[in-house]
């Protein structure tokens, strides 16, 4: 069984992001980059399934510029068998990424695609769902537990009312939630081994995909600074302020 795991290179979650002075986006110059945390969970889950003997090959995929090779090497250090980079300098939006992944799904024919439910840079939460629609396969989003069998996969996911369990026939698409697992620490020997693993590079045109942006960002701005709190003498005053000033009740 073959598993495809898309991974995205994003600003590290420990970095305090700053908006560019012209408001066109987030400033990523000289900023630490790393693998999207949700995608790291997806890689870990795929590797665990392989360690259980249920998966034979784990393929990590990334779309973006040449620097995304670092992210793929990290995925291979975690345990992915090989990597595929779709190299482009275009701004990639969720639909374009989904189309690229669909082309790779057609090429590699994986039985399962596991990816993070969202990226921490744009928080779109769209790529997995779009990929499932384009590939016409069942999907399970926000997975907190995955049980794989020969021709089906059972996924437990958190919903507003509690837990929901879905059983999907393979091939299928799964997006991961934070509670699915805790990714392992990448050791130096595995980092060295990852440098020798196969990494194929394609261009979007090699896959027959047009990745030109369909959406235009008009402006990016920082949220307003939080004001100081106030103390009220009694409950009646609190209710009055919530009702007439904050207008939340």
pLDDT digits (tens, 9 = 90+) for 174-203: 999 999 999 999 999 999 999 999 999 999
Q: How confident is the model at residue 24 (pLDDT cuts 50, 70, 90)?
A: confident
- Mean pLDDT of the residues in the chain: 93
Q: How confident is the model at residue 227 (pLDDT cuts 50, 70, 90)?
A: confident
The answer, yes or no, to whether the previous bond of 171 is cis (omega within 30 of 0) is yes
Q: At what angle do helices 94-108 and 127-135 cross, to 10 degrees?
A: 50
Q: How far apart are CA 146 and CA 177, in angstroms?
A: 11
Q: Is the pLDDT of residue 6 over 90?
A: yes
Lowest mean pLDDT among 32-36, 98-102, 226-230: 226-230
pLDDT digits (tens, 9 = 90+) for 53-112: 999 999 999 999 999 999 999 999 999 999 999 999 998 999 999 999 999 999 999 999
Give domain limits for the chain: 2-244
- The CATH class that applies to domain 2-244 reads alpha beta
Whole-prediction pTM: 0.85
Q: How far apart are CA 81 and CA 69, in angstroms?
A: 14
Mean pLDDT of 14-18: 88
Nearest Cα to Cα of residue 128 among 176, 168, 179, 63: 176
Q: Is the pLDDT of residue 127 over 90?
A: yes
Q: Is the pLDDT of residue 217 over 90?
A: no
Which pair of tokens denotes residue 6? 């898309």
Residues ≥6 apart with Cβ < 8 Å to 229:
none
| Residue whose entry in the numeric block shows the structure tokens 């302020």 | 241
Which pair of tokens denotes residue 150? 């020969």
């Amino acid at each position: 069984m073959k598993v495809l795991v898309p991974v995205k290179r994003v600003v590290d979650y420990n970095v305090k992001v700053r908006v560019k002075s012209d408001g066109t986006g987030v400033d990523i110059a000289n900023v630490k980059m790393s693998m999207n945390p949700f995608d790291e969970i997806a890689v870990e889950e795929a590797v665990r399934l392989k360690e259980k003997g249920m998966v034979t090959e784990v393929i990590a995929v990334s779309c973006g510029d040449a620097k995304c090779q670092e992210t793929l090497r990290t995925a291979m250090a975690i345990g992915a068998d090989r990597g595929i980079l779709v190299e482009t300098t275009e701004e990639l939006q969720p639909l374009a990424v989904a189309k690229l992944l669909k082309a790779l799904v057609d090429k590699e024919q994986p039985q399962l695609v596991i990816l993070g439910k969202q990226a921490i840079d744009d928080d779109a939460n769209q790529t997995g769902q779009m990929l499932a629609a384009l590939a016409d396969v069942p999907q399970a989003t926000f997975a907190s537990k995955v049980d794989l069998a020969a021709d089906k996969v059972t996924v437990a996911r958190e919903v507003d009312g509690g837990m929901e369990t879905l059983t999907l026939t393979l091939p299928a698409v799964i997006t991961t939630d934070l509670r699915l697992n805790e990714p392992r620490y990448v050791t130096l020997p595995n980092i060295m081994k990852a440098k020798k693993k196969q990494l194929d590079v394609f261009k979007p045109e090699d896959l027959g995909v047009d990745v030109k942006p369909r959406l235009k960002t008009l402006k990016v701005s920082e949220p307003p600074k939080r004001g100081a709190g106030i103390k009220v003498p009694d409950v009646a005053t609190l209710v009055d302020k919530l009702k007439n000033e904050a207008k939340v009740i």
